[in-house]
Chains A and B, each alone.
Chain A
Amino acid sequence: MQQEETEERLRPLMIRSLEGDAGSHRQLLGLLGRYLRGYFARRLRAQAAEVEDLVQETLLAVHLKRDSYDRSLPFTPWAYALARYKLIDHLRRRHRSIQVPLEDAGALFAAEDAEEGAIRTDLDRLLQRLPDRQRTLIEDVKIKGFSVEEAARKRGITAVSARVMLHRSLKWLNQALRDENG
């Protein structure tokens, strides 16, 4: 019952996000972050810092892998399968063998946790390894709050190439996170 409500709330957001609606995308990632935090905290019984790292890594995966969602299927099983994959991958990389049971998708949406853990440094540290051009673009957008268009104009490139640069940086970040710790 509760899961049906979650489905009805999240699926339209996902579909509008796939149509390119930034507001829906922001709302979807925000809501998913709360559920992921609750799910990982229960499964990992770890420090909040580790949970928050995994939340960020999974949100990045949701963002980059949203192409793989089939709009004719329910959304919650998609999100659950992605979260479970990231959890297993995370444990494997740290050579910890904790069994992750295959549950109903409801397991991900059992509890929300809006309280962010400590401010994480994993991403910032990795971002330092990006080439200057890409790093400053991300800093302009993230820290100075510029739009991609403004940031592009500032360094005299087209908005399109700035978008491509941002997208490539995120993909690189995803790989760097995966390849850390084996």
Chain B
Amino acid sequence: MRTADFIELLVHDTSATAPGVALRRLLTALLAGGLVTLAIVALGLRCQPLLTAAQQPWFWMKAGYTGLLAIAGAVMVKRLSTPGARLGPAPFAAALIVLAMLALGAGQIVATAPGARLTLWLGHTWKVCSPLILLLAVPIYACLVVAIRRLAPTRLGLTGAAAGFAAGALAATLYGLHCPEQAAAFAATWYSLGIAAATALGAITGGRLLRW
């Protein structure tokens, strides 16, 4: 087939596309994956009632931390799925948010009596926290992968990492509905570790899963 003929064939398939379709697909993926994860948190883990959680300031402390990270992650995914777009300041913003949370957690530990520090840091659930967040990130990551493949990522490993990061941060936010831990030091460590594990999962699988 001559290239000129092939172009004619492609021209027959011209159709109008609405602006912002890329962003809409990614947000839909976050919503769909988030709903699956929310269902697992609500039915599988039996989270505390939403109204109870929403009255706790420490719930919002954790949700604020991971929610901001999820937004930064979503921005990175969008930019990495757009060929030629710059990554922009989102990674720095994410790093600053993590550093601020680590500082808050460290400050909390310093301010606690030495004998109570370990209990504050480990809480009652430190062993299950990070693995559960990683597990809960999987449905969100899977939905993101489907959406990203329809766009055009050119740096696959990095895009996978950003998708894993966004999925992990959103999963951690929803996990907060179940998690009874109250300390900033706890969230700064075990939530962050869970998100880091989801990021690693994305970095490892991205090259294979996101090829188009």
Contact = CB atoms under 8 A, between A and B. Distances in A.
Given A18-B17, A65-B152, A166 B12 contact: yes
A20 B15 contact: yes
B7 interface: yes
Contacts of B4: 30, 116
Contact of A141 (B9, B81, B83, B85): B9
Contact of A59 (B2, B7, B12, B21): B7
B152 A55 contact: no
A25 B14 contact: yes
Contacts of B16: 18-20
B10 A170 contact: yes
Given A26-B7, A163-B15, A85 B1 contact: no
A68 B16 CA distance: 13
A21 to B, nearest CB: 7
Interface in A56-96: 56, 59-61, 63, 65-71, 73-74, 76-82, 84-85, 89
B189 to A, nearest CB: 37
Given A78-B82, A81-B83, A68 B151 contact: yes
A25 B212 CA distance: 22
Q: Tell which of A22, A68, A80 has the most Cβ of chain B within 10 Å.
A: A68
A121 B3 CA distance: 11
Nearest to A124: B1
Interface residues of A, number: 56
B108 interface: no
A61 B152 contact: yes
Contacts of B12: 141, 147-148, 166
B69 to A, nearest CB: 23
B154 A85 contact: yes
Given A21-B14, A22-B11, A78-B82, A56 B152 contact: no
A163 B8 CA distance: 14
B19 interface: yes
Contact of A116 (B2, B9, B83): B2
A95 to B, nearest CB: 16
Interface in B1-33: 1-17, 19, 21-22
Contacts of B3: 33, 52, 55-56, 59, 116, 120
Interface of B: 1-17, 19, 21-22, 81-85, 150-152, 154, 211-212
Interface of A: 17-22, 25-26, 29-30, 33, 52, 55-56, 59-61, 63, 65-71, 73-74, 76-82, 84-85, 89, 105, 116, 119-121, 123-124, 127, 138, 141-142, 147-148, 163, 166-167, 170, 174, 178
19 contacts: A20-B17, A21-B14, A29-B7, A33-B7, A55-B3, A56-B1, A56-B3, A59-B3, A61-B152, A61-B212, A63-B10, A68-B82, A68-B152, A78-B82, A78-B85, A82-B83, A105-B84, A120-B2, A170-B9
